[in-house]
Amino acid sequence: MVGRVVDTCSICGCELEWVTCWYCGGEGYFDEYDCDPVNVPRRGVELTECEVCGGEGGYLECPNAQNHPTAMTSVFVEKDMLGKDMVCAM
């Protein structure tokens, strides 16, 4: 049996949960025409990557985040085991 990779919170050690992106609704992109049909002419499908989730459609979030300390000394981006960016705080 092959084990699964479990991402854990760098602050409290809880297992991170996948959350659907609130900005793009989980699609990871926007059709420019659908967002602004008055100012963007229809030239086929022109997709723009979501700026919140980076085109992933969601992100990993700690279910215990509300209990993390509010005064963080630093925030940085780290690569996870799959090479995806992960926001970390210390």
Scan for tokens 């799959």, then name that residue: 82
User: Residue 71 domain-assigned?
Assistant: yes
Average pLDDT over residues 72-81: 57
The mean pLDDT of 69-90, rounded to a whole number, is: 61
81 within some domain = yes
**Position 23 pLDDT exceeds 60:** yes
Q: What is the pLDDT of residue 1?
A: 44
**Host domain of residue 26:** 17-89
Q: Are 28 and 53 in contact (CB under 8 A)?
A: yes
- Report how many domains make up the chain: 1
Residue 48 has pLDDT above 60, yes or no: yes
In terms of pLDDT, which residue wins out, 74 or 40? 40
- What single letter denotes the amino acid at residue 40? V
In this prediction the pTM is 0.55
More confident residue, 65 or 43: 65
Instruction: Flag whether 10 is in a domain.
Output: no
